[in-house]
Amino acid sequence: MMTLVTGGSKCGKSHYAEKIFDNFAGKKFYIATMEPYCEEALQAIERHRKIRAGKGFETIEKYTDIEEISLPENCGILLECTANLCANEMFRDDKIYDPTEKIINGFRYLKSRSKELVIVTNDVGSNGISYESGTEKYIEIMGKINRFTAEFSDNVIESVYGIPVPLKGHLI
């Protein structure tokens, strides 16, 4: 089973994504993609660690190259989040490139290893504001990644003000 959880900033995506695993009996992995590059990122990372403490997740910090993670079969995987992963892949090595295919293939790999896969993403393209070209490209690529991920997900859930709304499939 694969679920994509989307929504805006601070809308309850993580809470819902973690709740999906409340009754999961197998080994659970939390793939954290946020690089600790500044104080704000460190605070966000610490907040998420506290929230998931005691929930049975083994944390794997992997900022790029998720297809390299060695995972047992039929495990539970929560990846948080696509937006960070995309930025990390897209802007590495002082170059801008389109990591869509690499990330989608990484998601397919995670799906092949898991019994339950939940991917958290952000709705980054709906505010209608114009940005610099690098940011515009990032928004375009995130749109493609989210669209492709939604296509091969069993469920797509949008968190709206903490309320999970099914867009495809059903609530878990």
Contact indicator for 76, 114 with CB cutoff of 8 Å? yes
The radius of gyration of the chain from alpha carbons, rounded to an integer in Å, stands at 15
Within 8 A by CB and 6+ apart from 160, the residues are 7, 11
CA angle 148, 154, 159 (to 5 degrees): 80
Global confidence as pTM: 0.92
Domain residue ranges in the chain: 2-165
Task: Please give the Cα distance from 143 to 110 (Å, whole number).
Answer: 20
Tokens 């506290």 correspond to 50
Task: Please give the Cα distance from 169 to 57 (Å, whole number).
Answer: 25
Contact indicator for 71, 27 with CB cutoff of 8 Å? no
Domain 2-165 of CATH type 3.20.20.80: no
Task: Give tens-digit pLDDT for 41-92.
Answer: 888 888 888 888 889 999 999 999 999 999 999 999 999 999 999 999 998 8
Task: Give tens-digit pLDDT for 141-167.
Answer: 999 999 999 999 999 999 999 999 999
pLDDT at residue 30 in the model? 96
